[in-house]
Amino acid sequence: MRFRNLKKNNKTTHIKESEKLVYAPYSYRVKAFITDMFMIYAPILYAITYVVMSGKDDFQSSQAAPFAAVALYGVIYAILLAKFAQTPGKKAYDIKVVDGKSGKNIGFFRAIFRFAMFLFTATTLLGLIIPFYRRDKKALHDLICGTIVVAVKKIV
**Would residue 156 count as lying in a domain?**
no
What is the C-alpha to C-alpha distance for residues 131 and 102, in angstroms, rounded to an integer? 21
Q: pLDDT tens, 106-115?
A: 999 999 999 9
Give the global pTM: 0.80
| Per-residue pLDDT at 1 | 53
Is residue 17 a part of any domain in this protein?
no
- In a domain, residue 7? The reply is no
Query: Is 11 among the domain residues?
Result: no
Instruction: Tell whether 86 is covered by a domain.
Output: yes
The pLDDT score that the predictor gives to residue 126 is 85
**34-78 per-position pLDDT tens digit:** 999 999 999 999 999 999 888 888 888 999 999 999 999 999 999
Domain that holds residue 131: 22-151
Task: Please check whether residue 98 is in contact with residue 106, taking contact to mean a CB–CB distance below 8 angstroms.
Answer: yes
- How many domains does the structure of the chain reveal? 1
